[in-house]
Structure 1
Amino acid sequence: MQRSDQRESESSVDDILAGLNLDDEESATTKRGGKSGGRLSGLFSPKTFLLALVLSVVGGIIGGAVPVVGFLGTFLGIAAAGFLLGILGSTRRYAEVGLAGAVAAGFAFLLSTLLSVFAPFALQLLAEYGVAIAGVGSVTGALAGLVGHYFGRDLRDGLTREL
């Protein structure tokens, strides 16, 4: 049995997320009279991707601003953004969160390389190794976002499961 205050909080979170259109599978189904729009209609949501990207960039900036943690904080911020989307959303959004984490971390790696080294050397370094630098950042950022989203969904499942 669920407590009444728990049911109220779940419905209010679902109402908020419905207002943000995070759950596009359900809204797409109801808009089309109960039929889905095709095989890939619920696989990727651009609105959720943009929200995940904004949260990942903000989380990366805030995490990277911590002086002791340094660049590792960027990945912790991206993981926190994925965790937040996982705990608040009622559907799985691994594609959006992974892609947003990859884009945010890739650009963070390139910008940190460009701004941390003397400008002529930084441009030469990026010209030679820019793709590899962005690739390492993107893969690591995608993994951080996916791990955060997984743990957020796992916590949500544990909190909403009946005993």
Structure 2
Amino acid sequence: MAERTEERTRDADAQSGSDLGIDIGESESAQTDAAVGESVTDGSTVTDDSTKERGSYFSLRALLFAFGAVGGGMVLGGLIPLVPFTELLGVLLGGFVYGLLASERRYLEIGLAGGISGGATAVFSLLPQLAAGLNGTRLFAIAGGVGLVLALVGHYFGRDLRSGLTKDL
């Protein structure tokens, strides 16, 4: 049993490259220079601190993918006839799929995409009533809040399913 755990630990270290503190995407010569601490071809010295880059809190690329997932879910939800508010259930579905497929936690991006998409859909679907005197700001805030919560809940459950599927037994 201890041998099996030791093998998995060695395999994980070999795959991640974390024993040297280097990025996977670097070339072979840059990896050997970084491991020794020598200067690279451009004259700068590569250290462990400069090769490790922490993930940011916000990513524009992730936001665009989140809008795509939420928008796709809203389109699928809108295809259900005669049932009101199915677009908002599509926000939940989009957040779930995004959480299932994303490799990192992106609650900020999916929440922003769900809130803006939910609010904009409610306002645009009720444009004639807005012209008749309905308060559009309040409608956007309420639908945006509901969309935000549904997207976050969907993302949470998608991440939970992903971690359950990828965890070793």
How does the TM-score come out when normalised to structure 2? 0.66
Partner of 1:133 in structure 2? 139
Considering fraction of residues, name the structure with more helix.
1
Deviation at 1:161, TM superposition (A): 1.2
Aligned equivalents of 1:35 and 1:138: distance in 2?
A: 34
Deviation at 1:154, TM superposition (A): 0.4
Check the 8 A contact 2:99/2:159 in 1, yes or no.
yes
Correspondence for 1:162 among 148, 152, 168: 168
Partner of 1:81 in structure 2? 94
- Pick closer, same or farther for the CA change 1:131–1:80 going to 2, 3 Å: same
Aligned equivalents of 1:55 and 1:85: distance in 2?
A: 6
Partner of 2:119 in structure 1? 106
User: Superposition RMSD on alpha carbons, in Å?
Assistant: 2.5
Q: Once structures 1 and 2 are overlaid, which stretch shifts more, 138-147 or 75-84?
A: 75-84
Which amino acid letter does the alignment assign opposite residue 93 of structure 1?
R
Aligned equivalents of 1:122 and 1:102: distance in 2?
A: 20
Identical-residue share of aligned pairs (%): 37
Check the 8 A contact 2:119/2:140 in 1, yes or no.
yes
Deviation at 1:144, TM superposition (A): 0.7
Deviations 1:47-98 (A, max 9, x none): 1101111221221122023114322x11111111111111111210000000
Greater CA radius of gyration, 1 or 2? 2
Which amino acid letter does the alignment assign opposite residue 80 of structure 1?
L
Is 2:62 the counterpart of 1:48? yes
The 5 Å alignment of 1:1-163 reads 33-36=51-54, 42-71=56-85, 73-114=86-127, 119=128, 121-126=129-134, 129-163=135-169
Aligned equivalents of 2:101 and 2:53: distance in 1?
A: 26
Where relative contact order (Cα < 8 A, 6+ residues apart) is larger, the structure is 1
How does the TM-score come out when normalised to structure 1? 0.69
Aligned equivalents of 1:153 and 1:35: distance in 2?
A: 23
SS in 2 for 1:152: helix
Aligned length: 125
Aligned equivalents of 2:121 and 2:136: distance in 1?
A: 12
